[in-house]
Amino acid sequence: MKQTSKTVQNVLRGMRDGIPIGLGYFAVAFSLGIAARSAGINVIQGFVMSFLNNASAGEYAGIAAIRAGAPYLEIAVLILITNARYLLMSCALSQKLAPNLSLGHRMLIGFDVTDELFGISVAQPYPVPPSYIYGAYSIALPMWALGTAVGIAAGNILPAVVVTSLSAAIYGMFIAIVIPPCKKNRAILLIVPASFLISGLVSLIPWVMEQSESLRIIVLTLVISVAAALLFPRKDEEEA
């Protein structure tokens, strides 16, 4: 009975933390829906597409490929490459889960690892209960899919400037997730602005500019993560 009560509390806590993420997702997915409509995607197709692929960059790339008449295999490979950074996030998040957590739970959790959901999950004390993550997913994922469907239905009724302003909400939300850990950890406080600076400088290199944004994110994440681990190693007592 006590365990059931704890599980319910974790779910409700996850749902609470997932509400602002869901609202941001709805706004961004709304503009995604308008783009999807221009590619000939209807409301039901758009809802299912976003429910199975909660990733703005991946979906935008997929919609562009659909609009261009690309074959299914090419679309699949394009989305896989665009979303490849989530593989790294899933590996990192797995280290925050209990070692005896079943493969089924790990696969369900890996299904919807996004930047924002990853952020609130890794910020939880070890081990992160699956019920907390599922609670956040239960709000964020439907809101993303619903936003796409509503955007398709609304079409081009709203002015372009309104849609663009709605898309900016996701960046404010992400900053709100990053700031609290920066206040508690000096290493994170140094790494976050350094990552922004390095990313901006590297993007000015001609050869790098020709590479996809997802590939740049993957390489920079690996390099910065290794550098951070070497410069700010965690001590044994912190891991314990």
* Residues 219, 153 share a domain: no
Q: What is the pLDDT of residue 137?
A: 92
* Residues 39, 102 share a domain: yes
Asked if residue 139 lies in contact with residue 18, where contact means CB atoms within 8 angstroms, the answer is yes
- Residue 31: how many other CB atoms lie within 10 Å: 22
* Residues 210, 159 share a domain: no
33-57 mean pLDDT: 85
Q: Which two tokens stand for residue 189?
A: 């406080």
Percent of the chain with pLDDT over 70: 82
* Residues 234, 152 share a domain: no
Q: Which domain holds residue 136?
A: 2-177
Angle at 121 between CA 116 and CA 127, to 5 degrees: 170
**pLDDT tens per residue across span 149-178:** 988 887 667 666 665 665 565 566 566 667
Phi first, then psi, for residue 60 (nearest 5°) are -60, -45
| Better pLDDT: 129 or 157 | 129
* Residues 225, 114 share a domain: no
**pLDDT tens per residue across span 205-214:** 887 777 666 5
Asked if residue 84 lies in contact with residue 218, where contact means CB atoms within 8 angstroms, the answer is yes
* Residues 236, 143 share a domain: no
Percent of the chain with pLDDT over 90: 8
Which of 134, 153, 177 represents a domain boundary (last residue)? 177
135-142 mean pLDDT: 91
- Mean of pLDDT over the chain: 79
| Better pLDDT: 81 or 25 | 25
Listed residue (43, 83, 40, 45) closest to 61, CA to CA: 83
* Residues 116, 86 share a domain: yes
Q: What is the pLDDT of residue 238?
A: 46
* Residues 191, 170 share a domain: no
**pLDDT tens per residue across span 90-122:** 888 888 888 888 888 888 888 888 888 888 888
32-56 mean pLDDT: 85
* Residues 34, 130 share a domain: yes
